[in-house]
Amino acid sequence: MKLFFCGDVMPGGVLPYQTEYMTDELRELMRGYDFRIGTLESAIGTDLPYDPIKMAGRKNIVYARNEDFFRVKEMGYDVVSLANNHVWDLGEDGLKSTINILKENNILYCGAGMNIEEASRPAVIEKDGLRIAILAYCMYGNQYLGYVELAGPNKAGINPLDIDKVIADIKKYKTEYDRVIVMPHWGREYRHHPLMICISMAKQMVEAGADAVLGSHPHQVQPFLTLKGKPVCFSMGNFLFPDFYMYPPRPIWYPDKDEDLSKIKDVVAYPFPIDEPIRQVWNPVSRYGCVVSMEIGKGKDTAKAIFVHATDDNIEEVCHNLPADIDYKLRKFGRMIKYPLARIYYKIKKKLHL
């Protein structure tokens, strides 16, 4: 069984204003897998109201319209995680809309739902007598994720990243399925190194029986390594998350096709607040993402990293040569995570300015 795992997917943004969004080489790569799994970091809904709590705060509304969803289907996704801090940006109606369009297109989901039971339920894929459970969780309650609506017994929302709950879920589903893969949405944005709490939780997940831990949220690639023989990627970064237009006070904006977009200013960052329409452009580092390619069978599982890149024209492509500075940082932080003495060495070296 060949599995394709990738980071954040948002099928709207500037993509409706261009004709192409990925290369034939990347399409062919994706077709070579039995299952394609990613994080849908976007509410899907047309003409729905913005979430009032977010609009009272930082107003960072990320969504795609129903007519933009075809790209998710066209790429062949079989499973998406909804455990993230943007799937609720159009409120409960937006979550319902997202779930409905996934069901209409026969795409499995996990990590969010109309109650905690649904949000906690794994997405299950099967082939060649093997059954794989995919669990998804979203970190909450810190300054790096912002507002997240958590599911409850009778309340819609996201599956919370409570480590005790995660461990209990892993142990439970390990008795029912051949593999359990965890997709946490966690960490700090725009960093190559994971938070210490994420490193600790990844180790606990693996010790509880997780066969892989594949994270998202930072919008940059973080180290890919093995812990106790299991693949761990703290952040796969962006996969298909294009630049997007923003309109005051800050939500994503979809201009009319006849509007003159040439006069709209490009801004490299995610400014707050804004007082004029702008186009948010990703920084060069965030244009790289990581695909985790897994082969699962009766013998030993294997996993490797394949890197992708979004061009300045928002065309996603296979990356054959990762920039040296990014490669160096990922390797360095990977060693620091896997070998605590190396982490101590680098801290001392930094303090001594060596």
Matching residue, tokens 């929302």:
157
Judge if 255 and 340 occupy the same domain: no
CA-based Rg of the chain, rounded to a whole angstrom? 20
> Into how many domains does the chain fold?
2
Scored b (16 or more CB within 10 A) or e, 90-100 reads bbeebbbbbbe
Q: Whole-model pTM? A: 0.95
| pLDDT of the chain, 354 residues: tens digit per residue | 999 999 999 999 999 999 999 999 999 999 999 999 999 999 999 999 999 999 999 999 999 999 999 999 999 999 999 999 999 999 999 999 999 999 999 999 999 999 999 999 999 999 999 999 999 999 999 888 889 999 999 999 999 999 999 999 999 999 999 999 999 999 999 999 999 999 999 999 999 999 999 999 999 999 999 999 999 999 999 999 999 999 999 999 999 988 999 889 999 989 998 999 999 999 999 999 999 999 999 788 999 999 999 999 999 999 999 999 999 999 989 988 887 655 555 565 565 554
Judge if 228 and 183 occupy the same domain: yes
Judge if 229 and 330 occupy the same domain: no
Task: Give the CATH number for residue 218.
Answer: 3.60.21.10
Judge if 336 and 239 occupy the same domain: no
Beta bridge partners of 79: 37, 108
Phi, psi of 202 (to 5 degrees): -60, -45
The helix or strand, by DSSP H or E, that contains position 126, with its residue range, turns out to be strand 123-127
Judge if 139 and 41 occupy the same domain: yes
The helix or strand, by DSSP H or E, that contains position 73, with its residue range, turns out to be helix 70-74
Identify whether the C-beta of residue 303 lies closer than 8 Å to the C-beta of residue 293: yes
Q: Max CA-CA distance within the chain?
A: 59
For residue 350, the enclosing domain spans 326-354
Judge if 61 and 128 occupy the same domain: yes
How open is the CA angle 177-300-187, to the nearest 5 degrees?
70
Identify whether the C-beta of residue 53 lies closer than 8 Å to the C-beta of residue 21: no
Judge if 353 and 317 occupy the same domain: no
Q: Residue count of the chain, please give it.
A: 354
Judge if 191 and 270 occupy the same domain: yes
Judge if 317 and 336 occupy the same domain: no
Judge if 258 and 287 occupy the same domain: yes
Judge if 343 and 299 occupy the same domain: no
Judge if 353 and 295 occupy the same domain: no
